[in-house]
Amino acid sequence: MVIEPQFTGGVERFSEGLAAVWIPKEGSYQKGNIGFIDRQGNLAIPARFDLRYFEEGATDEFPRFSQGLTRVNINDKYGFINKQGKLVIAAKFQEAGHFAEGLAPVTVSRGAVSRDETM
């Protein structure tokens, strides 16, 4: 065994040398934070990011690094951090996907678009 079991909330697969871990707050499984561990099990990026819960009780998928960045949720908005944990793209998106070929899909806002906004 390389890393002893120690994360009660969940762990994502490794990508680019780091894996997201969910660390629930004591007494609650729906509250807590996401951080990132290295391949030795050390917390490389402190658990300070949110895990988004949806109305149905389902959660957002865990973030994973791609092209040196991963999305994180801060106050119900998505932004992107680098592998040092520095926020490099502000948390201003309603939705965000993973980077591929230098781009990541994002949703700027939810809701209807007025006819005037489409022109």
Query: Is 82 contained in some domain?
Result: yes
Domain containing residue 73: 10-118
> Per-residue pLDDT for 85 more than 80?
yes
* Tokens found for residue 69: 């960045």
- Residue 66: what pLDDT? 95
Whole-prediction pTM value?
0.80
Whole-number pLDDT of residue 104: 92
What are the φ/ψ torsions at residue 90 (nearest 5 degrees)?
A: -55, 150
Number of domains, the chain: 1
The pLDDT confidence band at residue 37, using thresholds 50, 70 and 90, is very high
**Amino acid 91: pLDDT:** 95
29 SS3 class:
coil
Please indicate, yes or no, if residue 74 is contained in any of the structural domains.
yes
- Residue 69 domain-assigned? yes
pLDDT, tens only, 25-36: 776 666 788 999
Contact between residue 60 and residue 74 where contact means Cβ atoms under 8 Å apart = no
Residue 112 lies in a domain: yes
Q: What percentage of the chain carries pLDDT values higher than 70?
A: 81
Q: Is residue 2 part of a domain?
A: no
pLDDT digits (tens, 9 = 90+) for 3-25: 877 777 778 899 999 999 988 87
In a domain, 104, yes or no: yes
Please report whether residue 1 resides in a domain: no
The answer to whether residue 5 is domain-embedded is: no
Backbone angle region of 94, left / alpha / beta, with phi > 0 → left and psi within -120 to 50 → alpha: alpha
